[in-house]
Amino acid sequence: MLAIALGGGTAAASGPQVHFGPQGHQRRVCVDTPLRLTFDRPPQLGTTGAIRVHLGDSTVVDSIDVADPESSKRTIGGAVSDTGQPHLFTYHPVVVSGDTVTVHLHQRLEYGETYYVTMDPGMVAGFPGVRDPSTWRFTTRAAPPPAGAARLTVAADGSGDFCTVQGAVDAVPLGNQRPVRIDVRAGTYDEIVYVRPDRPHITVSGQDRDRTVIRYANNDRLNGDSARASGGPADVCPLRALPTPDLHNCWRALVGVDAPDFTLENITLRNTTPYGGSQAEAFRGNNQRITLNRVTLESYQDTLRLQGTGFVTDSFIRGDVDFVWGTGSVLVQNSTLESAHAGYVTQVRNDAEHHGNVFVHNRLTRVPGVPDGSVHLGRIQTNRFPYSQAVYLDTAMDAHIAPVGWQITPDDCAQAPNLQDWEYGSTDLAGRPVDTGTRLACSRQVSDTEAARWRDPGFVLGGWVPTTVNATPTGGRGYAVSWTAAPGHAPADRIAVCRVGLPDVACRPGAPTGTAATTGTVALTLPPLPGRYEFRYLTAAGQRAATSNVVTAR
């Protein structure tokens, strides 16, 4: 029999032990906390039994039965279908990873309440369960963050305002009209995240891009067309760009955003759907003015999907089939797109009235084992999407890119008079020009003048350009600091050099942008003192508009 450890105590002196999270009699617990049982050996989940959460008066407020398929459905983010009905996601309520069993409840708990947990014998093989109300008991925080808070904190260890990213998103009021920043501390967050259309102006910012990870195996078979083929009105996607093809495919992303004015930065999204496991977006943005800055997106098929105006910079995207796709007007710059298998980089479905996807100064790489010539820059069915536009400017690409470049169906350029598969200045990874002589006949190498126009995010995105700043080391204490800003910004705007944590007035002046262009780069040097620094975009009026990645001087 398994012994039970309560906090630091042990209920039995022999046998394996289990530790509870939240710990017995813990206070100030997040209302969105998962429940965890950590054993001293890998546990095996049983096929029957339930875990229940009770109020102090014994009222059951949530129950998860491992034998009941209905226990695997829950609302996420207050999702509402196009018909106005609440949508239920399919999810994994009980997950075994290593020595830990994690239970994800159907809804958050209430503030200022004491709860206890019971668990049937056999839910975990060999574990006698939990019967005594005093064994696994805890109290949630007394009150939520202040109404209208402009900044919220997420920490997996419970030290923030919330334990989950979704918990913080749900705290943003419906109809929000003010910028809200959600700071996500380093950790791994196993969850699906959904932002509904009426929660705009949210920024989700990770503490450390490599150590702040949201992951989940959401995909088409779990929550998309394959799973909802016989679905009802509650499964119909809202804000469908393509009414029939997009009927049910909006629910399958790891992070799905239907709200405008959303920013994701400094974080990794890892859709853990295995290879061949169906379409599985790491990120889906289905509205206007979506910004991805310094993010890592990992999946296989359909990794990144943007359906409105989107700007992606200084990021890493890995996938294999159509791993950048959608109907949106999108500019991707200064990023790496890595092919995990043979396949296609893009499938762009814009119409005649909107620009497609434009890639500026990126690297197309591959994981070891991807054959030469096995990846196309893009593919499209021209009889369905005749105005598809995929533009590659100043791209460094490995030999896995097929000499023909693009694939069209039907394979007849005479039937694709409006196709815009364009290219300029492509090189190999060593900087040598690529031979484009055998490219698809209806693709085109654009002129210098055209390339200059399409490099401008203001032109591609209809006048919208987010303010960003990113630093790349050039040797010693030197950095090339690239920035973007809205059309018509002041040339007196400047990039300042700042020690992390100090106010803007304490920054070194740095250098002015010196131009009203929407993009640029300045060369800056860190101070001679060791420490952690960042570069800040300060407007001519002295307001901070953006902050770079953190760099360290030794």
437 has a pLDDT exceeding 70: yes
Contact 429, 365 (CB under 8 A): yes
Distance CA 91, CA 75 (A): 10
- Predicted confidence at residue 16, as pLDDT, reads 52
Query: Tokens in use for 256?
Result: 């799905």
Contact 496, 504 (CB under 8 A): yes
Model confidence band, residue 231 (pLDDT cutoffs 50, 70, 90)? confident
Contact 62, 210 (CB under 8 A): no
Question: What pLDDT digit, counting tens, does each position of 443-469 carry?
Answer: 999 999 999 999 999 999 999 999 999
Distance CA 89, CA 76 (A): 7
Distance CA 110, CA 445 (A): 60
6 has a pLDDT exceeding 80: no
Q: Give the residues across from 297 on adjacent strands.
A: 269, 317
Long-range CB pairs of 112-116, under 8 A, 24+ apart, other chains included: 112/139, 112/140, 112/141, 112/142, 112/143, 113/55, 113/56, 113/139, 113/140, 114/55, 114/56, 114/138, 114/139, 114/140, 115/53, 115/54, 115/55, 115/56, 115/61, 115/139, 115/140, 116/53, 116/54, 116/56
Question: What pLDDT digit, counting tens, does each position of 148-173 carry?
Answer: 999 999 999 999 999 999 999 999 99
* Peptide bond just before 410 cis, omega within 30 deg: yes
- Predicted confidence at residue 4, as pLDDT, reads 38
Distance CA 171, CA 149 (A): 9
Neighbours of 148 (CB within 10 A): 10
Amino acid at 174: L
Domains of the chain in sequence order: 3-140 (2.60.40.1220), 146-307 (2.160.20.10), 468-553 (2.60.40.2840)
Contact 479, 471 (CB under 8 A): yes
Stated pTM of the model: 0.96
| Secondary structure of residue 492 in the 3-state scheme | coil
DSSP 85: P
